[in-house]
Amino acid sequence: NAGVMQNPRHLVRRRGQEARLRCSPMKGHSHVYWYRQLPEEGLKFMVYLQKENIIDESGMPKERFSAEFPKEGPSILRIQQVVRGDSAAYFCASSPQTGSPSYEQYFGPGTRLTVT
């Protein structure tokens, strides 16, 4: 009964490098949400994806950030040319229903990105 999986759990990057964060939803879930949590703050929505489709990216920064959820494999959140302000915990959540999303979202353990 595997839950939402994320890797790596911790990621250290120097300024200017690329960060790739992976999320595997719960078995049978085909809806993935990414959220960012800055230190000592709440969670902010970034992007919502279904398999092979970006549905809502209204929370994504306009530059350097991209996301995908291919037909096979995990969802990827990619941050190019990282800056210190990107240091945060990145959580993904998956939603139970396949045809249309359901309200409940279950979170993965998060990836803690540190930019040095």
- Measured between alpha carbons, how far is 85 from 103 in angstroms, rounded to an integer? 31
Query: At 94, which helix (H) or strand (E)?
Result: strand 88-95
- Pick one of 2, 28, 39, 42: the residue that binds another protein (CB under 8 A): 42
- Pick one of 65, 69, 90, 91: the residue that binds another protein (CB under 8 A): 91
The verdict on 106 binding another protein (CB under 8 A) reads yes
CB of 81 to another protein, least distance (A): 26
CA dihedral 38, 82, 22, 53 (to 10 degrees): 100
The verdict on 38 binding another protein (CB under 8 A) reads no
- Pick one of 12, 38, 55, 83: the residue that binds another protein (CB under 8 A): 55
Q: Is the dihedral of CA 38, 57, 73, 15 positive or negative?
A: negative
* Of 4, 103, 88, residue with least CA distance to 42: 88
* Coil/strand/helix, residue 9: coil
Point out which span in 13-21, 69-77, 80-88, 100-108 binds another protein (CB under 8 A).
Answer: 100-108
Q: Given the rule CB under 8 A, which residues bind another protein?
A: 33, 35, 41-45, 48, 55-56, 59, 91, 93, 95, 101-110
